[in-house]
Structure formats: structure tokens, C-alpha cells
């Protein structure tokens, strides 16, 4: 057996002797425990923190009492005339190529003929356009309109077309109004303007699609019974 084979064993013996002689004086001073010098030899467990219980409410919070204020009723109409403007037709996602159905029927009981009509809203323009939505809060109303043609029929033909649309159902054509070719030469003795259309429905939202050709101006007036607002 050579020296290089014995060297590791001799080194291990020397380390063990050194440790034993080095720890002995430390243990003799103050009667110290071996676990206090080398903590992991004492076998002590790491203390676990105790869980803190959540506070339990004695009773649920009392909800706030509901408001008892009575809302102020809004009148149907204050009597002021609405001036209707125009909007982008795409606002209503309308399907003008679809099969719109006209559903404006005359009921069995007509409104009294003694109604005094008053102006509720007006539309003034020259070009084609789609109006904003307006609410008609009455079960009966009328549409009056007048047109000033740009020229007499000849090379061109002045016309106007008014589509009354149900704002809650864009595919519903309430009515399509078309007086035909506008020829002022036929009006010299008997001017038919303003033309009138009666609607035996209401309390709904409407908008209007107006198409014109070669007209200088037009005015559309929505009229309602005056005494219905009382």
C-alpha cells in the first residue's frame, strides 16, 4: 500500500480529532448545550405563526331608504313649434331596397271634425335629405306640404317624394307621398297647395325621407289638434 492511498484516511482522522478537541472546551464553559452551539443538532422546530381570525359583523349594514320624491310629470307638448333638421340616412340603418309595408289605415271612428289644428313641427329645405326623429304624442295628426318648382315641366320635371317612416321599425313605410309632376301652369285658377295628408295613428316616433328634383324650396308642416293637449 502506497502513501497516496493512506493520505485521505489520515487526513479524515486528523479532522475528527481536531473537531473533538475544539468543541470540548466550548461545552465545558458555562455548561453550554451542544444544540446551542450547533442549532440544527437540538432538533427544534420552526414556530408557525398563528392565524388571525376575521372580525365577524354582528348584523348587516342597514340599506339607505328609497327615495320617496314624486317626479314632476312632463306635459305632452308645451305649444312651441319644433324645427326639424336633417341627419345622415345611415343613422337609421334603413333598408330602402327591402319590402317595406304601408300600414296606415283609417279607423272605424274618425276624430271630430271640429278639431282646431295647430302647428307642431316644420321642415324647410330645398335639397333631398333625411330628417331627425320626432315624437308625435297624439293619436291623430296631419302633414301639410307646399313646393315651389324651379321651372315648368319640359326638358326637366320638378317632383317631390316624402316617405313617412316609423322610427321604431325602419322597414315600415307609414306612407309614401308623391303629388306627381309639379306643373304650376295647372295652378293658375286653382292652386292645390298646401297638400294635406291625414294620419289616424300617432303616439310614436317618426322621421321623413324627402327626395326632390328641380325645386326651389319646400315646406312640410306637422299639425295636431289643439285641444288634445289639454
Q: In this predicted model, what pLDDT tens digit does every residue of 51-95 receive, in sequence order?
A: 555 555 555 556 666 655 544 444 566 778 778 777 776 666 554
In sequence order, which residues have a C-beta less than 8 Å from that of residue 218 and are 6 or more positions away? Answer: 124, 125, 126, 145, 146, 147, 148, 160, 210, 212
Do 220 and 133 have their domain in common?
Answer: yes
Out of 26-30, 73-77, 203-207, least confident range: 26-30
Q: For cell 283609417, what's the residue?
A: 106
What is the domain range of residue 106? 82-229
Determine the pLDDT at residue 102.
43
Q: Residues 159, 229: contact at Cβ < 8 Å?
A: no
Gap between the terminal Cα atoms of the chain: 128
CATH number assigned to the domain comprising residue 131: 2.60.120.380
pLDDT in tens, 97-140: 444 444 444 444 455 566 789 999 999 999 999 999 999 999 99
113 and 192 in a single domain? The answer is yes
Residue 68 lies in a domain: no
- 176-193 pLDDT, tens per residue? 999 999 998 888 889 999
Burial (CB count within 10 angstroms: exposed 0-12, middle 13-18, buried 19+), residue 99: exposed
Q: Are residues 88 and 21 in the same domain?
A: no
pLDDT of amino acid 73: 46
3-class SS at 165?
Answer: strand
Residue given cell 321651372 in the structure block: 151
Which positions ≥6 away from 119 have C-beta within 8 Å? 81, 221, 222, 223
31 and 88 in a common domain = no
Q: Is residue 102 part of a domain?
A: yes
3-class DSSP state of 228:
helix
Amino acid at each position: 500500500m502506497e502513501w497516496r492511498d493512506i493520505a485521505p484516511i489520515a487526513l479524515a482522522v486528523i479532522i475528527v480529532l481536531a473537531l473533538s478537541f475544539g468543541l470540548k472546551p466550548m461545552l465545558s464553559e458555562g455548561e453550554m448545550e451542544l444544540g446551542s452551539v450547533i442549532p440544527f443538532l437540538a432538533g427544534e422546530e420552526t414556530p408557525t405563526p398563528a392565524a388571525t381570525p376575521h372580525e365577524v359583523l354582528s348584523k348587516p349594514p342597514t340599506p339607505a331608504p328609497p327615495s320617496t320624491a314624486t317626479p314632476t310629470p312632463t306635459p305632452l307638448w308645451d305649444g312651441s313649434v319644433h324645427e326639424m333638421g336633417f341627419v345622415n340616412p345611415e343613422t337609421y340603418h334603413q333598408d330602402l331596397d327591402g319590402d317595406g309595408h304601408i300600414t296606415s289605415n283609417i279607423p272605424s271612428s274618425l276624430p271630430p271634425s271640429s278639431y282646431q289644428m295647430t302647428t307642431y313641427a316644420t321642415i324647410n329645405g330645398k335639397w333631398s335629405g333625411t330628417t331627425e326623429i320626432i315624437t308625435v304624442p297624439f293619436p291623430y295628426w296631419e302633414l301639410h306640404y307646399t313646393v315651389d318648382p324651379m321651372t315648368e315641366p319640359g326638358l326637366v320635371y320638378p317632383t317631390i317624394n316624402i316617405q313617412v317612416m316609423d322610427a321604431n321599425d325602419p322597414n315600415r313605410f307609414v306612407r309614401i307621398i308623391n303629388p306627381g309632376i309639379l306643373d304650376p301652369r295647372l295652378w293658375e285658377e286653382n292652386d292645390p297647395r298646401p297638400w294635406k295628408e291625414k294620419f289616424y295613428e300617432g303616439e310614436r316616433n317618426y322621421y321623413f325621407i324627402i327626395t326632390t328634383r328641380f325645386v326651389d324650396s319646400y315646406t312640410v308642416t306637422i299639425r295636431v289638434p289643439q285641444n288634445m293637449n289639454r
